[in-house]
């Protein structure tokens, strides 16, 4: 395997191109927009130079082609186009006509089911998810998602490619949000619930910093952008049929409507302020948010196709959490987590009723 195709040269596609070309692969790339194609080599050169790499050598491995029809030489193609199911399906239909019989087609989708992207193709078995995180050259994790019909060969090829490119590969089930984007939801959601109960953003974030987190949930929304966070929240909420564990908090919607998107807008939940001293009940806040993290991971585990170790490793790597949800469960104990959830459920407002129902794994601990 030497040649990799990339379709879509936006934030993710170019980042993935940097990872692969940097690891010595020849990269064939394209984008629907001519200016994205024309500027790609220069953008890659600048990106690599910024990180102190050999910009000329890496950029020399990137070749632009006019469209997906010209990807016949690729052993594996990664799609990083717009998050739109019909567009991705149309692209894969074109790609499967263009590539060799043994070639693998990978999607970088964050929120669409890989099985739905593969459905309708002549050879759906060659489709996998290879979910890189932003910024791809910095984030070491790649989630490998196999849908029900993915062939063992395709999965093995995709894993090998990502590992040869220096990434850590963790297999994730083809469920909404996979592992990381799913398990991250309550980190934000529980902080928003606390805000709606009248707690201040600085004290919520300070409590999480005191508990060992690198960044508090509201500062993290400010960093990512409240609009990006809202889109991810809505997408998981819809895919999970509006279950109250994925409630879309009005506070987040209002924040977006007001344009207080975070750093990029100059103001957010907390930005430009910083978290202050932790409040006296700091551990109660952290215990509540962590109980929700454990519970979400527990529900994901109960759906199958993933291990507790994979969930812990993926969340620590991609989210920079000091410990994974099952490490938290071991440290705090099932009884304490259940008691926290029961107390939250007993006083949950109508729109959150059922949010704190304990996952089966908690019943067993
Ligand atoms: N941005 C993130 O943090 C992130 C993280 C992980 C995964 N993803 C996923 O990666 C994919 C790309 O996201 P992004 O943030 O890089 O988007 P982006 O908007 O920065 O880039 C998308 C690029 O694809 C091109 N494009 C759109 N439709 C196309 C088509 N039919 N054929 C060829 N090119 C086309 C656009 O011109 C654009 O250059 C999405 O599926 C997204 O969900 C994004």
Instruction: Please state, in angstroms and rounded to a whole number, the distance separating the CA atoms of residues 129 and 50.
Output: 29
* Res. 155: pLDDT tops 80: yes
- Residue nearest atom 18 of ligand 1, based on CA coordinates: 10
Please tell me the predicted confidence (pLDDT) of residue 37: 97
Displacement of CA 201 from its chain's centroid (Å): 24
Residue 31 Cα: closest atom of ligand 1: 34
Atom of ligand 1 nearest to the CA of 132: 6
Q: How far apart are CA 271 and CA 45, in angstroms?
A: 32
Pairing, β 26-30 against β 3-7: parallel
Task: For 196-232, write each residue's pLDDT tens digit.
Answer: 999 999 999 999 999 999 999 999 999 999 999 999 9
The crossing angle, in degrees rounded to 10, of helices 185-196 and 250-257 is 90
Q: What is the pLDDT of residues 91-126, one digit of tens each?
A: 999 999 999 999 999 999 999 999 999 999 999 999
Hey, whose CA ends up nearest to atom 39 of ligand 1? Answer: 10
DSSP three-state, residue 159: helix
CA 167, 172, 178, 183 torsion: positive or negative? negative
Q: Which residues of 65-96 are buried (b: 16+ CB within 10 A; e: fewer)?
A: beebeebbbbbbbbbbbeeeeeebbebbeebb
Ligand 1 pocket mutation, candidates 32, 78, 81, criterion most atoms within 8 A of CB: 81
State the alpha helices, DSSP H only, in 248-281. 250-257
Q: Which of 197, 192, 125, 128 is nearest to 160 (CA)?
A: 128
Which H/E stretch holds residue 301? Answer: helix 282-302
What does the pLDDT average to over 47-68? Answer: 96
pLDDT at 363 over 90: no
Averaged pLDDT, 16-21? 98
Residue 39 contacts residue 110 (beta carbons within 8 Å): no
> Does residue 110 carry a catalytic annotation?
yes
Catalogue all structural domains in the chain, each as residue range(s) with its CATH number. Answer: 3-172 (3.40.50.720), 180-363 (1.10.1040.50)
Cis peptide before 297 (omega within 30 of 0): no
Whether 143 is catalytic is yes
Give the pLDDT confidence score for residue 307 in this predicted structure.
98
Are residues 283 and 211 in contact, defined by beta-carbon separation less than 8 angstroms?
A: yes
Closest protein CA for atom 26 of ligand 1: 81
Q: What is the mean pLDDT of the chain?
A: 97
Share of the chain above pLDDT 90, in %: 98
Over residues 299-310, mean pLDDT: 97
Stretch 302-320: mean pLDDT:
97
Could you tell me which of 105, 91, 103, 92 has the C-alpha nearest to residue 146?
A: 105
Any idea what DSSP says for residue 345?
A: H
Per residue in 279-302, pLDDT (tens digit) is: 999 999 999 999 999 999 999 999
Q: Is the pLDDT of residue 365 over 90?
A: no
CA of 363 to the centre of ligand 1 (A): 41
Among 79, 96, 143, 290, the one annotated catalytic: 143
Select from 319, 16, 328, 338 the least CA-distant residue to 177. Answer: 319
């Amino acid at each position: 395997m030497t040649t990799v195709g990339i379709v879509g040269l936006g934030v993710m596609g170019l980042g993935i191109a940097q990872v692969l070309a940097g690891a010595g692969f020849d990269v064939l790339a394209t984008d629907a927009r001519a200016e994205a194609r024309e500027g790609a080599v220069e953008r890659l050169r600048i990106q690599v130079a910024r990180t102190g790499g050999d910009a000329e050598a890496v950029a020399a491995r990137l070749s632009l082609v006019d469209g997906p029809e010209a990807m016949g030489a690729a052993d594996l193609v990664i799609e990083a186009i717009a998050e739109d199911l019909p567009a991705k399906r149309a692209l894969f239909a074109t790609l499967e006509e263009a590539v060799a019989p043994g070639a693998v087609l990978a999607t970088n989708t964050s929120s669409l089911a890989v099985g739905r992207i593969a459905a309708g193709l002549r050879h759906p078995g060659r489709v996998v998810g290879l979910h890189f995180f932003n910024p791809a050259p910095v984030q070491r994790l790649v989630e490998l998602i196999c849908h029900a019909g993915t062939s063992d060969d395709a999965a093995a090829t995709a894993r090998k490619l990502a590992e040869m490119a220096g990434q850590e590969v963790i297999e994730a089930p083809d469920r909404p949000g996979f592992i990381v984007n799913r398990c991250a939801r309550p980190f934000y959601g529980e902080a928003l619930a606390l805000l709606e109960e009248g707690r201040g953003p600085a004290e919520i974030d300070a409590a999480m910093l005191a508990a060992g987190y690198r960044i508090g949930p509201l500062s993290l929304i400010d960093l990512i952008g409240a609009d990006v966070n809202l889109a991810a929240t809505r997408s998981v909420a819809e895919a999970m049929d509006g279950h109250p564990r994925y409630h879309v908090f009005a506070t987040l919607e209002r924040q977006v409507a007001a344009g207080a998107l975070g750093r990029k807008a100059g103001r957010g939940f907390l930005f430009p302020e910083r978290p202050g001293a932790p409040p006296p009940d700091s551990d109660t806040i952290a215990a509540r948010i962590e109980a929700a993290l454990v519970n979400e991971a527990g529900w994901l585990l109960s759906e199958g196709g993933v291990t507790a170790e994979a969930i812990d490793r993926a969340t620590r790597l991609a989210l920079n959490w000091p410990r994974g949800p099952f490490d938290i469960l071991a440290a705090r104990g099932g009884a304490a987590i259940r008691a926290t959830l029961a107390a939250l459920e007993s006083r949950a407002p109508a729109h959150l009723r059922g949010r704190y129902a304990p996952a089966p794994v908690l019943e067993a601990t």
